[in-house]
Structure 1
Amino acid sequence: MPRISVVIITCNRREQLRRTLAHMTSLPDNAPIVVVDNASADGSASMVAREFPGVRLLRLDENLGAVARNVAVAEVTTPHVAFCDDDTCWQPGALTRAAELLDQHPGLGSVTGRCLVEPGLAEDPITPELRGSPVPGPDWLPGPALLGIMAGLTAVRVDAFREVGGFSPRMWLGGEEELFALDLAARGWWMCWAEDVVIHHAPSPLRDPRRRRRLGIRNTLWTLLLRRPWSAVFRRGADVLRSAPLDGATLAALGEVMRGLPWVLAERRVVPPAVEEGLQMLEGPQRNSKARRYVG
Structure 2
Amino acid sequence: MTQKNHVTVVVITHNRCEELRRTLHHMTTLPDAAPIILADNGSEDGTAEMVRSTFPSVRLLAFEDNLGATGRNRAVDLVDTEFVAFCDDDTRWQPGSLTVGADILSRHPSLGSVTGKCLVAPSLVEDPITPEFRESPIPGPDWLPGPAVLGVMAGLSMFRVQAFRDVGGFCEKMWLGGEEELLALDLAAAGWWMVWEESMVIHHEPSVSRQRVRRRQLGIRNTLWTLWLRRPVRSALRRSHVVLRSAPKDLKTVAAVLEAFASAPWVLRNRRVVPNEVEAGLVLLEQPQANSVGRRYVD
TM-score (norm 1): 0.99
Task: Give the aligned residue type for 2:163.
Answer: A
Q: 1:166: which partner in 2?
A: 169
CA distance in 2, matches of 1:78, 1:28: 19
Is 2:199 the counterpart of 1:196? yes
**Alignment pair present for 1:80 and 2:77:** no
Q: State the distance in 2 between where 1:20 and 1:260 align.
A: 36
User: Structure 2 residue aligned with 1:92, among 92, 95, 103?
Assistant: 95
SS in 1 for 2:293: coil
2:178 to 157, 175, 178: 175
Give 1:186 deviation, angstroms.
Answer: 0.2
Say which of 130, 140, 144 aligns to 1:127.
130
**Unmatched 5+ stretches in structure 2:** none
Partner Cα separation in structure 2 for residue 43 and residue 255 of structure 1: 36
SS state at 1:246 partner: coil
Residue 287 of structure 2 aligns with which residue? 284
Range with bigger deviation, 243-252 or 273-282: 243-252
Alignment of structure 1 residues 1-296 onto 2, 5 Å: 2-296=5-299
What residue identity is the alignment partner of 2:82? Answer: P
Q: Which deviations, in whole Å up to 9, do the C-alpha atoms of 1:195-230 show, x marking residues without a partner?
A: 010000000000111100000000000000000000
SS at the partner of 1:147? coil
Deviation string 1:156-198 (CA, Å, 9 cap, x unpaired) is 0000000001001111000000000000000000000000100
Aligned mates of 1:86, 1:65 — CA distance in 2: 13
C-alpha RMSD over aligned residues: 0.6
> 1:128, CA displacement in angstroms?
1.1
Q: Tell me, in whole angstroms, the C-alpha distance in 2 between the residues paired with 1:293 and 1:115.
A: 18
Contact map agreement 1:243 1:295 (CA 8 A) in 2: no
Deviation, 1:30, is 2.5
Once the two structures are TM-superposed, the CA of residue 9 in structure 1 deviates from its matched residue by 0.4
Query: Partners of 2:36 and 2:5 in 1: how far apart?
Result: 11
| Distance across 2 between alignment mates of 1:36 and 1:223 | 25
